A = this chain, B = another copy of it.
């Protein structure tokens, strides 16, 4: 296939969330399209967010993470898949991509009618001495996770150091504790979970301590020191920590080298700029997922918020537009996430108070604690909610929640509220479900809204 065929050909670079979503959408919508997926790694179509649960042993077999093997993609879904192939350059004028076979070293050129960049994000690597020691891992791909599993099986590490107290760091903390390791989290800033408010993060920290996790905040990383060829000491925040295993989880940056090389516009966020149809600045080239920036619907600004849900939605919409131009638009996100931290559900949506004030809003935050069920009903737990509200417009700007149950989907009510620019007043009137096993008559959402309203007046 070294020349343009009669059929329309859709080439996807990157075979995980956004890429697979686009490929499947195109093939299902127009079976006559040739769809080729070019994937650098061995695996396609796997569930990245399940990796901590696979490493921790909650999910037993890595194959449970795989939605579609390359073989299934070929034979069941009629998708052409080249794994272990890396796209090296895009020539928009020729509508071609130069691809390297990583096994054989061969290069070949493929032509496209439509191209999609789903190159994803790459973990940020701390630029300190010792970073390349063999027991320092990042957690991004399925291959990463297999390496970690193998290392743990062979070396039985006792002490783990987690770099970064964001959600991946906390999920990996739980995984390592499940495997019996003594775990220390090193967080550069004064707070876990990025910009979340202290009313929420204090409860998370307390819960981590209850689960025997050591926490070192404002701990700037200095270096990794080798003992017997492996990292044995982490030097950070003036401390020296003995360690047998290091997991780095300090964030992700967009993978844009290929896009930049092709002359595709990069936004101020450092990620690929796309229009609502998910088209890049160059004709017939789409982009979706963790390599792109998104519009934040609360602030109206462009942000870099790499999330699996966004990648799936964008991939699907881009696919629809490849088949029929202009058929769907992706309007943006409100930034909803949820994380399991041992027995806690931790969720947020919209802007934190810190984000909001930094972006120029005049924001008020208020926090309540309420019951997850009717308080007489067995199993009732406390839920803490912080709402961030605009003092001028009275609109909801964001919500943060923590509790042992009933958090993960309650946050979605706030996500829907943000999507509709609801005010605190309007929130207090929501007609929410009530039955003693599931909620009190005044749902925590309503209690939070009433408190926010009170704070505004």
Residues of A within 8 A of B (CB): 17, 47, 49-50, 53, 58-59, 64-65, 297, 307-313, 330-331, 333-340, 345, 347, 349, 374, 376-378, 406, 408-413, 415-417, 419-420, 422, 426, 428-439, 441-443, 445-446
* Chain B residues closer than 8 Å to A311, beta-carbon distance: 441
Determine if B431 and A409 form an interchain contact, defined as CB atoms under 8 angstroms apart: no
Chain B residues near A308: list those with CB within 8 A: 434, 441
Query: In the complex, A420→B331 CA distance in Å?
Result: 17
Residues of B within 8 A of A435 (CB): 49, 337-340, 408
Contact present for A419 and B408 (CB under 8 Å): no
| Besides A409-B413, A412-B413, 6 other A-B contacts (C-beta < 8 A) | A49-B434, A50-B377, A58-B378, A310-B431, A337-B433, A413-B413
In the bound complex, how far is the Cα of B335 from the Cα of A433, in angstroms? Answer: 9
Kindly list chain B residues whose C-beta atoms are within 8 Å of the C-beta of A438: 338, 340, 345, 408-409
- Asked if A312 contacts B442 (CB within 8 A), the reply is yes
**When chains A and B are docked, how far (Å) is the Cα of A439 from the Cα of B309?**
11
CA of A50 to CA of B443 in the docked complex: distance in angstroms? 15
- Known A337-B433, A441-B17; judge A377-B413 contact (CB<8 A): no
Q: Which residues of B contact A340 (CB under 8 A)?
A: 435, 437-438
Complex partner residue of A309 from B334, B410, B432, CB under 8 angstroms: B432
A177 smallest CB distance to B (angstroms): 16
| A345-B438, A413-B409, A437-B340 known; A65 vs B376 contact (CB < 8 Å) | yes
Residues on B with beta carbons closer than 8 Å to the beta carbon of A411: 433
For this complex, 20 residue pairs linking A to B, each with C-beta atoms less than 8 Å apart, are A49-B435, A50-B376, A50-B377, A53-B377, A64-B376, A308-B441, A309-B431, A313-B428, A335-B431, A338-B439, A340-B435, A349-B433, A408-B439, A412-B412, A412-B433, A412-B445, A415-B431, A416-B417, A416-B422, A416-B430
Determine whether the beta carbon of A420 is less than 8 Å from that of B409.
no
Looking at the complex, which one of B50, B297, B313, B337 makes contact with A374 (CB distance below 8 Å)?
B50
CA distance A307 to B432 in the complex (A): 11
Please give the distance in Å from A378's CB to the nearest CB on chain B.
6
Which of B53, B330, B416 contacts A416, CB < 8 Å?
A: B416
Which single residue of chain B is at the shortest CB-CB distance from A345?
Answer: B438
